[in-house]
């Protein structure tokens, strides 16, 4: 490098400059730091809002769950509904005389099947 080029690069004071700012400090790192801090603050506020919203939803779910548990407990304490249809504990007598049958007609257990062939 020639003396002339060195003088042009160092300027008249003899101190080398970078991009026109003394000491080599530029605005770019400072700007990036400010932008990073701003984005960090935005992200922090968004996370805080999500946390608050989630907490509110969980409280709402807990309230609804407690109401359902109360309803179930009250329904369990209430008198059970009367059973509809035939009594499963009663023994019914079915007349099978004259019907087609298979097996011993004097068997102690008789299974009677009613079906509709349409």
Based on the structure, what is the number of domains in the chain?
Answer: 1
Within-domain flag for 14: no
Within-domain flag for 66: yes
Given a contact cutoff of 8 angstroms between Cβ atoms, the answer to whether 112 and 96 are in contact is yes
pTM (2 d.p.) = 0.41
Within-domain flag for 62: yes
Within-domain flag for 104: no
Task: State which residues form the domain around 50.
Answer: 26-77
Within-domain flag for 67: yes
Within-domain flag for 87: no
Model pLDDT for residues 69-106, shown as the tens digit of each residue:
999 998 888 877 777 888 888 888 888 788 888 888 78
């Amino acid at each position: 490098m020639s003396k002339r080029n060195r003088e042009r690069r160092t300027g008249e004071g003899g101190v080398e400059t970078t991009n026109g700012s003394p000491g080599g400090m530029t605005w770019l790192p400072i700007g990036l730091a400010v932008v990073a801090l701003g984005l960090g603050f935005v992200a922090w506020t968004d996370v805080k809002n999500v946390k608050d919203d989630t907490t509110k939803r969980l409280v709402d779910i807990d309230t609804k769950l407690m109401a359902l548990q109360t309803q179930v407990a009250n329904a369990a304490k209430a008198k059970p509904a009367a059973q509809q249809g035939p009594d499963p504990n009663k023994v019914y007598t079915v007349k099978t005389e004259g019907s087609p049958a298979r097996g011993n007609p004097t068997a102690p257990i008789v299974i009677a099947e009613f079906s509709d062939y349409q």
